[in-house]
Structure 1
Amino acid sequence: MTNQTQLFEAALGIKAPWYMQGVNFATELTIAVDFVAGSRFAYPGVPGEHPVHDTVIKRLRHLNFFQFDCYLEVRVPRVRLPDGAVRLVEPDWMGKLDGFTLLFEALVLTLCREMTFAAVARPVNLSWHRVKAICDRYVDVALATTDLSRVSVVAIDETSCRRGHDYVSLVADMDQRRVVFVTPGKDAGVIERFARHLKAHNAMSAQIRSVSIDMSAAFIKGVDEHLPQARVTFDRFHVVAHASKALDDVRRAQQKTAPALKGMRWLLLKDAGKLNLAQLTDLEALVSQYPTNRTARAWMYREQLREILDRKQIHVVSKMLRRWCTGVMRSRVEPMKDVAHMILRHFDGIVAWTQTRQTNGFIEAINGLFQAAKRKARGYASFKTMRTVLFLIAGKLDFSALNPHAS
């Protein structure tokens, strides 16, 4: 055996009974791989080693040799089993998708976690569809073996998948900070499908003890029906966001008769702690008009709400929040009255925040990453593609059981 042969076999991870038969280099590198004559091979699930019946040639894309594409042409055996069946025996280094080695697939997976499929396809000299097919295969196999038996705290949110009103919904395991389920739509069926998904992955819907959602009537209905033991938490930041929108609605209406309010939108919506001295001066001047200025009162109501929801004693928060709602509904700040009515309709879930401190912040950050990836790819044409991308970004899937070179 020459030093060159030993070098190539070591680099490729080829071990007995496999050996490198020859190398052909033209515009690409082609390495012929064979096995020792008379070898017998094991087959999964069937005891013993079995004789070779015949062989087929498999052409596998491997990592580049410098700047040149590299292929392995492998003579792969088909063995005859004791029951007379003939089965193909693949080498350990053959990939999960026909036509690739494990090392090549690991490279594609690593790149696709940071780049679009089209961007990865160019340097590896493959079609967009082949790159996507590798990622689809690994995500599908990894998800099929996912164990959800320890999932108990989840967050659910939707994100747009294309222009119009097409949505996908995500469910995240908040303890592990990972996406565990993706499905089309944003109706109550999302929760029903998630409950079925739990049952298929060594879990039960009754084990979900806490769920964070927005105030979607469909999600609330779905949780009530399909996650019966879950305590619902409405994210404190969603509640404050409704109050901020009401504040802006008040400002918009009042600025028609009070031109001084024009240009103050971001001043009113920003956290007061992030304002500079000049902005604080303007804000204090406005707030000083609290008795006669509806925008100033709306700002005060929003800040009071924020302060109440920052507290941690549930009985104190309940009492103060009901008092806040009563005061707002007696006022003449109409948009803020709508917020008070909303809070009373979802009171238990809003107050639950004081104990669970559970938010949708993580899953909304994932939505942001997905939207950025979608813009780079100029949109995704199918749900299957979107699902694969979301799991590559935030699924924390462990591919090492499928491919020792992937993580």
Structure 2
Amino acid sequence: MHNQIFETALGVTSPWFVQGVDFDAAKKTLTIRVDFAAGSRFAHPTAAGLHPVHDTQVKRYRHLNFFQHECYLEVRTPRVKLPEGRVVLVEPDWAGKLSGFTLLFEALVLALAQQMPFAAVARTVGESWHRVHAICARYVELAVAAADLSETTALAIDETSYRRGHNYLTVAADADERKVVFATEGRDAETIERLAEHLTEHQATPEQISSVSIDMSPAFIKGVADHLPNARITFDKFHVIVHASAAVDKTRRLEQKTDPDLKGLRWALLKDRDRLPESQRADLDALIAQVTTKRTACAWAYREQLREILERRQINVVRTLLAQWCTNVMRSKVEPMKEVARLIRNHFDGIVAWTQTRQTNGFLEALNGLFQTAKRKARGYTRFATMRTVLFLIARKLDFARINPHAA
């Protein structure tokens, strides 16, 4: 009777049945022995029909815990003889994608790994770090390999560091679906070439990409021009404003050497005025009132003007105002902001394109923050393959349910 209860709980159906159960209280393990009915024939994906059993192997699968006890399925697994004479193993439907686990156990590991470092998952489920990582890497590879990019027309591309020193990986995402579709080592033009090859391997073509959002990296610009020939490049507003904010801070540091009143104003100048506490807002307003005499106040005003221009949606208006802004800055005495004006002039069309496309890398920047947090929690990762697996898990956009119905 208790065997039938376990059959029902496990979803074991004919020709499989639970042959017996062994409980070891000392080792805190439960082993469920599974067999198949004599005379059974089994299907195999490489040959049509049902095939006779040639011999068997006993395989052991880690399953979900039974209360606080580790649970294993010990299965007498058939090897069948195919019509051409080959003998192949036929694993049961509940066998996982990695040898030695059930689909349910792998689904649990995947769910935990999207919330916790691999080491913490390993402690929770009682397996080694390497086995947990192997499960996650296997599912990521299967899901990425099965991805269909035939409808992808807009990409967001960004870089992130994955190790101390100059160790970077480049990440590409479907800008409309906001899901990561590609990751590779490096941040040079060759990464875009590898991205183009990846598109070709997944029912897409480089020519179908009509829009790409990138930072102002010369390598990315060259890579897109060479390998995504129909893509219109967009430099989103936020990257431009980051450069302008850096110029404001540089101006403050230079002017502070002769004007001690600027000390303590760094964050008031860098943050949005509406988000400042009342005391900092008053200090900022006092500085802005001296816009004609303090270069830091002038730099702040230029940045705010730039922000307002890039908020507009009429491309001809933006083009005219942005060109005039650059002219005004170049005539000023705010040297750090002149560097921003030169940058804008050198990337003018891509910055103006933001007015129409409104395509941004913001969600990739947020993903990068989660990625760096995960890396710190895990006390760092050293291998690119591991970082790629972690990145796709954090993004949480892969369809694991197509591989494992329990991983929906």
Code of the aligned partner of 1:327: N
Mapping for residues 189-228 of structure 1, pairs under 5 Å: 189-228=190-229
**Which whole-Å CA distance do the structure 1 matches of 2:143 and 2:288 have between them?**
56
Code of the aligned partner of 2:307: R
Q: 1:180–1:395: 8 Å Cα contact kept in structure 2?
A: no
**Which of 9, 12, 23 matches 2:10?**
12
**Which whole-Å CA distance do the structure 1 matches of 2:280 and 2:131 have between them?**
55
**Which whole-Å CA distance do the structure 2 matches of 1:284 and 1:393 have between them?**
41
**Which whole-Å CA distance do the structure 2 matches of 1:154 and 1:401 have between them?**
24
Code of the aligned partner of 1:17: P
Mapping for residues 3-402 of structure 1, pairs under 5 Å: 4-26=2-24, 27=27, 28-402=29-403
Secondary structure at the residue paired with 2:283?
Answer: helix
1:299 Cα deviation from its structure 2 partner? 1.1
1:286 Cα deviation from its structure 2 partner? 1.6
Secondary structure at the residue paired with 1:348?
Answer: helix
Secondary structure at the residue paired with 1:37?
Answer: coil
Code of the aligned partner of 2:304: E
Code of the aligned partner of 1:343: I
Name whichever of 264-273 and 118-127 sits farther off.
264-273
**Which whole-Å CA distance do the structure 2 matches of 1:285 and 1:99 have between them?**
68
Secondary structure at the residue paired with 1:405?
Answer: helix
Secondary structure at the residue paired with 1:352?
Answer: helix
Q: 2:114–2:396: 8 Å Cα contact kept in structure 1?
A: no
Q: Percent identity?
A: 66
**Which whole-Å CA distance do the structure 2 matches of 1:395 and 1:274 have between them?**
31
RMSD: 0.9
Code of the aligned partner of 1:68: H
1:276 Cα deviation from its structure 2 partner? 3.6
Secondary structure at the residue paired with 1:98?
Answer: coil
**Which whole-Å CA distance do the structure 1 matches of 2:401 and 2:302 have between them?**
53
**Which whole-Å CA distance do the structure 2 matches of 1:288 and 1:117 have between them?**
54
Name whichever of 113-122 and 273-282 sits farther off.
273-282
Number of matched pairs:
405
- Per-residue CA deviation, residues 3-32 of structure 1 (Å, 9 max, x unaligned), is x11110011111000001111111211111
**Which whole-Å CA distance do the structure 2 matches of 1:199 and 1:145 have between them?**
13
Secondary structure at the residue paired with 1:278?
Answer: helix
Secondary structure at the residue paired with 1:299?
Answer: helix
Secondary structure at the residue paired with 1:140?
Answer: helix
1:260 Cα deviation from its structure 2 partner? 0.3
1:395 Cα deviation from its structure 2 partner? 4.8
Unmatched runs of 5 consecutive residues or more in structure 1: none
Q: 1:213–1:360: 8 Å Cα contact kept in structure 2?
A: yes
1:141 Cα deviation from its structure 2 partner? 1.1
Code of the aligned partner of 1:5: N
1:153 Cα deviation from its structure 2 partner? 1.0
Q: 1:34–1:75: 8 Å Cα contact kept in structure 2?
A: yes
Q: 2:20–2:33: 8 Å Cα contact kept in structure 1?
A: yes
**Which whole-Å CA distance do the structure 2 matches of 1:280 and 1:64 have between them?**
57
**Which whole-Å CA distance do the structure 2 matches of 1:305 and 1:17 have between them?**
71
- Per-residue CA deviation, residues 371-402 of structure 1 (Å, 9 max, x unaligned), is 01000101112111111111111151111222
Secondary structure at the residue paired with 1:170?
Answer: strand
Code of the aligned partner of 1:305: L
Name whichever of 273-282 and 222-231 sits farther off.
273-282
**Which whole-Å CA distance do the structure 2 matches of 1:290 and 1:355 have between them?**
32
Q: How does the TM-score come out when normalised to structure 2?
A: 0.98
Unmatched runs of 5 consecutive residues or more in structure 2: none
